[in-house]
Amino acid sequence: MKFAVVLCLLLATSGFALVPKHPADLVSMLARQQFAVRTLMAAPEARDDSTLINDCFNHYLEDQTNVIMGYNLQYTGCLRTAQSGRDELTKESASEREALLDRTNKMCSSLTECDTLVDGLEFFDCYRNA
């Protein structure tokens, strides 16, 4: 009877945790699953039947794998979305960046031309107009 209750608890926590809202949900779900498995292993009738223990552990590993694979798919999708967003923003801002670089280069070349002037008034007038 204990085994059935613990197995139901284990399956319930696995089912509720398949779609984590944030990493803290995944951590709490894993802690609940580990507690359920420890409780099952501590039950006297469970320790007497090694095939039951192996079946339970295999089921536990399968559930853990499914949860981790689902989380991995969501995380990878999030990374891809973020990278594609960065790439799109870079493409959109490329023309603005080029225009800024052109203006900066023109300003620098104008200021460099002012360095050749000897007369102080012409020098400062050149800087003002650059």
The pLDDT tens digits for 35-72 are 877 777 776 665 566 777 788 888 888 888 888 888 88
Q: What are phi and psi of 49, to 5 degrees?
A: -120, 100
| Whole-number percent of the chain with pLDDT over 90 | 15
- Distance between CA atoms of residues 75 and 17, nearest Å: 15
Average pLDDT of span 73-100: 91
Average pLDDT of span 103-113: 88
Average pLDDT of span 9-19: 58
With a cut of 80, say whether residue 74 has pLDDT above it.
yes
The amino acid that residue 105 corresponds to is N
* Helix, strand, coil percentages, rounded to 5, for the chain: 90, 0, 10
Average pLDDT of span 99-124: 87
Q: Which helix (H) or strand (E) holds 25?
A: helix 23-42
